[in-house]
A and B are shown apart, each in its own frame.
Chain A
Amino acid sequence: AQKVTQAQTEISVVEKEDVTLDCVYETRDTTYYLFWYKQPPSGELVFLIRRNSFDEQNEISGRYSWNFQKSTSSFNFTITASQVVDSAVYFCALSEASAAGNKLTFGGGTRVLVKP
C-alpha cells in the first residue's frame, strides 16, 4: 500500500530564512506521481508541482525548489528566502499509476510559520 510521511509537523522560521520540508514515500509501483500542495489559512489547496517517477531532475520555480531522489524515496521541498505569505500547511502526495482513478494519498502535512 502507498504511504506518504512528512515527519515535520510544524516549522517556524524568521522571514528570509530558507526552509526545507521533508517528504518520504512508499510504493510498490514503478510508475507513480508525486505532488506538493499548499493550503493557506483560507483552506483552499493550491497545486505547486507534479513529478513522475521517471523524471528525477530537480526543479526550481522562483523561490521554490524540489529535490526528488528515488534512491531514498524522498521528494523534498525548499522555500528560499521565506516570506510571511509562505505561512501555510504544505502537503506532499502520491498517486500510483495502477490506482483506480489515480487516487492521491496525502502526507500528514507540515505547518510552516514565517515570522516577520
Chain B
Amino acid sequence: GAVVSQHPSWVICKSGTSVKIECRSLDFQATTMFWYRQFPKQSLMLMATSNEGSKATYEQGVEKDKFLINHASLTLSTLTVTSAHPEDSSFYICSARWTLATDTQYFGPGTRLTVL
C-alpha cells in the first residue's frame, strides 16, 4: 500500500511554455498533498500544501501564479509550471499524506523538468 505516482517522470520543454505534472495516490485517499522542489545535491524544499477542494497554501517566496496547484480529487493533485524558464529546471517531488497511516507522507518518484 501507500503508492504515489507522478507523471511525467521527466519532461523537456522550451522556455515560455507551460508544463503540467500529475501526482496520484494509487491505493489510498489523500486530503492533503505536498509539492517539493529539489536542486542537485540539496535537500527538499516545500513549495506548497495542496488541499482537496480548496486553494493551495504556498510557502514564502513561491510564486502562486507561476506554480499553479489544483487538487480536484482525493487521489489527484496537479502542479502546472507556467511560462517556464531555465531557472525553473529542477526535480519536482510530490507527496501524499495518508491520514489513516498516522499521517505519514508517502512520496512520488519525482519529475525532472528541464527548460531549454
Contact = CB atoms under 8 A, between A and B. Distances in A.
Query: Which of B2, B43, B57, B110 has the largest number of chain A CB atoms within 10 A?
Result: B43
14 contacts: A37-B107, A43-B93, A43-B110, A44-B110, A45-B44, A46-B107, A47-B104, A50-B102, A91-B44, A100-B49, A100-B57, A101-B49, A101-B97, A104-B105
Given A45-B93, A100-B49, A103-B49, A91 B107 contact: no
Interface in B31-60: 32, 34, 41-44, 46, 49, 51, 57
A101 B97 CA distance: 9
Contacts of A57: none
Interface in A79-110: 91, 95, 100-104, 106-109
Interface of B: 2, 32, 34, 41-44, 46, 49, 51, 57, 91, 93, 95, 97, 102-110, 112
Contacts of B93: 43, 45
Contacts of A45: 44, 93, 95, 107
A95 B34 CA distance: 13
Given A101-B57, A108-B43, A43 B91 contact: yes
A37 B106 CA distance: 10
Given A95-B103, A102-B97, 8 more contacts: A44-B109, A44-B110, A45-B93, A50-B104, A101-B49, A102-B103, A106-B44, A109-B42
B43 A107 contact: yes
A107 B43 CA distance: 7
